Amino acid sequence: MYKRQEAAHANNQTDKQAPLSENEQLIKDIWESELGLTDLSIEDNFF
């Protein structure tokens, strides 16, 4: 994760945007399950 993203996550300064479709929700659920993370947003970038 980039330094700016880490700082934003640490300070809870990011606005979480919920999935807009069933497909986005499915992908979010898969990422959370596989990465062991919670409270992901469609704005999170893993690349």
Residue 46 resides in a domain: no
Structurally, the chain folds into a number of domains equal to: 1
Domain hosting residue 19, numbered range: 3-35
Flag whether pLDDT at 1 surpasses 60.
no
pLDDT at 44: 84
Residue 26 resides in a domain: yes
Residue 16 resides in a domain: yes
Least Cα distance to 17 among 26, 7, 8, 28 occurs for 28
Residue 31 resides in a domain: yes
Flag whether pLDDT at 9 surpasses 80.
no
Residue 17 resides in a domain: yes
pTM higher than the cut 0.75: no
Residue 18 resides in a domain: yes
pLDDT at 39: 86
Residue 24 resides in a domain: yes
Taking a C-beta distance cutoff of 8 angstroms, is the pair 2, 10 a contact? no
pLDDT at 11: 55
Flag whether pLDDT at 14 surpasses 70.
no
Q: Which pLDDT tens digit goes with each residue over 18-45? A: 889 999 999 999 999 998 988 888 888 8
